[in-house]
Amino acid sequence: MLIGSLSVSDQATKRVLFIEHDHVSEGGPIWEQFVIRGYDITRFHIVDEANFNQPNVSVVWLDLLSFDVVVVMGAPWGAWEDERIGNWLLPELKLMREVHNAGVAILGICFGGQLMARVLGGSVGRAPKAEVGWFEIESSDESLIPRGPWFQYHWDRWVNPPNATQIAHTEVGPQAFTFGRTLGLQFHPEIDPYVLDLWLEMEGGCAEVEGEGLSVEDLRIATRGQEADSNKRARDLVDQFLDRIAGAPVQLVD
């Protein structure tokens, strides 16, 4: 096993697809835990760096139903911005409904959690304020979703699907829900200092943080300080997702 390059042993038979909507959506500790659990990782990129400012690209999708798990990652765009990214957002909504109804386990992170809320009958829009940095959350099931702190980096929020079970929230909005074999998260368990630097080095990344009255260097320092505990929480969350959610009864959506 070579985690750095995401190689796995020949004995690995389970497959997880990471849908990466931009060029900086690396998986950090959650990649590592999927590999440890015997999953072969496939990365599927939507918008490359050259198209970052023109993200409404056309996409030739993989066969999503050929995977055991699909992880829908974050994005710098909104899961409600049909006009801006509709060439791939609208097909993704349709495809992920099919994936969910087929009983494939789904983990949605930030944009991915918002997208899955929309797929399953909820809605997504601008939040009353941003959440950027390390936050504790309120959880009704701390064995599945502990209080954290977890890393937040979002300006939008979802409204829970009608038949979803909310697991966690903050004063701004929902932070986690389950719906059959889908787990939607608003926070970023994948964050570590390397992933954060990728985001900050992205066009406009530092300006976004500073626009919320935060110090970029303070955010980096806090993330380094949280790294060991945060990585453990992330690995535990992957285990809980695989052990509890991925094998839950299938819950269909119309």
* Residue from 21, 100, 169, 188 carrying the catalytic annotation: 188
Of the pLDDT bands very low, low, confident and very high (cuts 50, 70, 90), residue 13 is: confident
Q: Where are the domains of the chain?
A: 3-191+228-245
Of the pLDDT bands very low, low, confident and very high (cuts 50, 70, 90), residue 8 is: very low
Residue 1: the pLDDT is 27
Of the pLDDT bands very low, low, confident and very high (cuts 50, 70, 90), residue 29 is: very high
190 given a catalytic annotation: yes
Residue 220: the pLDDT is 97
Q: Cα(73)–Cα(111) distance, rounded to whole angstroms?
A: 7
pLDDT digits (tens, 9 = 90+) for 127-177: 999 999 999 999 999 999 999 999 999 999 999 999 999 999 999 999 999
Of the pLDDT bands very low, low, confident and very high (cuts 50, 70, 90), residue 4 is: very low
Quote the pTM value: 0.94
* Residue from 20, 26, 32, 190 carrying the catalytic annotation: 190
For 9-23, 28-42, 233-247, which range has the lowest pLDDT when averaged over its residues?
9-23
Residue 203: the pLDDT is 82
Residue 6: the pLDDT is 41
Of the pLDDT bands very low, low, confident and very high (cuts 50, 70, 90), residue 10 is: very low
Residue 7: the pLDDT is 38
> Is 60 exceeded by the pLDDT of residue 195?
yes
> Is 80 exceeded by the pLDDT of residue 5?
no
Mean pLDDT of 232-236: 98
110 given a catalytic annotation: yes
* Residue from 26, 110, 154, 169 carrying the catalytic annotation: 110
pLDDT digits (tens, 9 = 90+) for 45-95: 999 999 999 999 999 999 999 999 999 999 999 999 999 999 999 999 999
Mean pLDDT of 224-242: 98
CATH code linked to domain 3-191+228-245: 3.40.50.880
